[in-house]
Homo-oligomer: A and B are copies of this chain.
Amino acid sequence: MNDRKKHVVQMAHQLFIEKGFQSTSIQDILDFSGISKGTFYNYFSSKNELLIAIFKTSYSELHKLRDEVLIGQDPANIETFVKQIEMQLTLNRKKKLITLFEEVMVINDPDLKQFIELGQIRNIRWIYNRFIEIFGEEKKRYLLDCAIMFMGILRENIKFYRLANDANLNIKQVVRYTVNRVVHIVAELEESDEQLIQTEALERWLPDCQKTDHLFRKKFLHSLFTLKNIFHQKHEQLKFTELLEFIEEEVLDSKNPRFFLIKSVLQTLKTVENQTAQIEIEQLEQLVKAYFKEKDVENPYFS
């Protein structure tokens, strides 16, 4: 996506935050971002597609921040999870994502609808995986239900907490309360041994590639993080961190990551004169290689 297109996405998002999706006309967007109608329809085939672009950039920002919270923290510590949720909520609010989501579910566009739904399922899966880390693999059976209920309780609590304490919202309190409830629900479910939704359902909903695979993502980002730190200390960041950021974007955000390019960039990175960095880069390469191999097995057409 070129800079101009990005600019349009940004301006449109701002307008949507202020006036809502439906109430913002394409003409408004054209005026506000200073492009012509022709250009607009050259970039996006419709207003809905522009909205998808907005969601995609917001998602990737969200995921990035979410992973950053994890760095240097114990993922099994529930306090880390609390921080991640708080971050997610403030970002959601800032970008009015929830409002936009709701606005979308209404428009009779199956593409848009499916996109949002996938995003929500992915979010549930993320919580589910985090719960496994927090509560332990042995409680897996109940944790998908817990993730789903957690989302429900949280959403509803926020809604009415806002109503009760108009606007001056102390998110932390709501998250704390909600997390406390879920901790007890987990314990209670283990006793009563009830299950509503089979955990296998997740794989049916999201049969997609390992790209968002929890473990890979964690290792990958951790590796990038340590490398960035090394380069930062050595004041070599200018060139190398740029390359690292390219890899990050290509692997996580691109639909069809160009493996040959990533390989080449990694080769360039290896020229750094630093023992620890070289070892780390080697590990990163192994990780990425393994990831692409696995992905190719699943999608043989791309191999």
Partner of A177, one of B19, B194, B198: B194
Residue numbers in B under 8 Å from A188 (CB-CB): 181, 184, 188
DSSP majority for the A interface?
helix
Please state if A160 and B197 are interface contacts (CB–CB under 8 Å). Answer: yes
Given the known interface contacts A102-B102, A102-B105, A108-B20, the answer about A160 and B185 at a Cβ–Cβ threshold of 8 Å is: no
For A, the interface residue count at a CB cutoff of 8 angstroms equals 43
**Most B Cβ at <10 Å: residue of A153, A154, A184, A185:** A153
User: Whole-angstrom distance between the alpha carbons of A277 and B14 in the complex?
Assistant: 66
Please state if A201 and B163 are interface contacts (CB–CB under 8 Å). Answer: yes
A151 part of interface (Cβ distance < 8 Å): yes
Residue numbers in B under 8 Å from A290 (CB-CB): none
Count identical subunits in the complex: 2
Q: Mark A207-229, 1 if CB is under 8 A from B, else 0.
A: 00000000000000000000000
Given the known interface contacts A106-B20, A157-B148, the answer about A192 and B164 at a Cβ–Cβ threshold of 8 Å is: no
The residue on B at minimum CB distance from A196 is B177
Given the known interface contacts A184-B188, A192-B180, the answer about A157 and B152 at a Cβ–Cβ threshold of 8 Å is: yes
- Using a CB–CB cutoff of 8 Å, the interface residues on chain A facing chain B are 19-23, 102-103, 105-108, 121, 124, 145, 148-149, 151-157, 160-161, 163-164, 173-174, 177, 180-181, 184-185, 188, 192, 194, 196-198, 201, 204-205
Known interface pairs A148-B156, A157-B196; 17 further A-B residue pairs with C-beta atoms within 8 A, sorted by A's residue number: A20-B108, A22-B106, A22-B108, A102-B106, A121-B163, A149-B156, A149-B157, A152-B154, A161-B196, A161-B197, A163-B205, A164-B197, A173-B196, A177-B196, A180-B194, A184-B192, A185-B185
